[in-house]
Amino acid sequence: MSEQNKKTVLAYVDAFNRGDLEAVCRHFTPDALAWGVLGGGEIEKVREVWRDLIESLEIRLQVESIVAEGNVVAVRFTERGRSVRDFRGMRATGRSYEAIAMEWFEMQDGRIHRRWGARDSGTIYGQLGFPPPGTDSPSGLEALAVRFEVDHPDLADALRRFVDALGKAGI
């Protein structure tokens, strides 16, 4: 059972690295939950986070170590990426990053039922030239503008100009 669980997790990693979110999600049970540094919950909610990571940061995971016992699989990765598109309100920098990441999986019937991910966001943000996570910088407002843009494209340009003006004013 442990070997099959490893194969499932490795297939999830392969699908993630290809940017194939449909395949990623097929490796999870219908009632699966996942958590990471950017939030968590049901797979459809987490899928949006994964899409942002793949499309904006070109994230890739290289498995360094994988262990399994019973229904638990643990993986240590070298995570690499590059800022190619705006990410949650932060402008693309073109810079690359590399960090250690770890993920813990609980398996059920050969599929991922629970997933926890941990990585050093401070180091990643620093390498990318982003403001530190959790700071009260204009990037928090910019993040709001990006989310607003999705729901209200007709008003997003005005909000973006407002956020830019606040940044120029040092607010």
Give the global pTM.
Answer: 0.76
Report pLDDT for 164: 65
Specify the higher pLDDT residue, 8 or 126.
8
Tens-place pLDDT, residues 133-171: 665 444 444 554 444 454 555 555 665 666 666 666 665
Tens-place pLDDT, residues 17-74: 999 999 999 999 999 999 887 888 899 999 999 999 999 999 999 999 999 999 999 9
Report pLDDT for 89: 84
CA distance 41 to 127: 28
Report pLDDT for 59: 95
Report pLDDT for 165: 63
What residue segments make up the domains of the chain, in order of their start? Answer: 2-133, 136-171
Contacts of residues 21-27 at CB distance under 8 Å and 24 or more positions apart, as own/partner, are 21/47, 21/50, 21/51, 21/54, 24/50, 27/111, 27/112
Kindly state the average pLDDT of the residues 118-128.
89
Report pLDDT for 114: 95
Strand 39-42 relative to strand 60-69, pairing: unpaired
Contacts of residues 114-122 at CB distance under 8 Å and 24 or more positions apart, as own/partner, are 114/32, 114/33, 114/34, 115/28, 115/32, 115/33, 115/34, 115/35, 116/34, 116/35, 116/36, 117/34, 117/35, 117/36, 117/37, 118/36, 118/37, 119/36, 119/37, 119/79, 121/37
- What is the dotted CATH code of the domain comprising 2-133? 3.10.450.50
* pLDDT surpasses 50 at 125: yes
Query: What percentage of the chain exceeds 70 in pLDDT?
Result: 77
Q: Which residues pair with 65 in a beta bridge?
A: 76
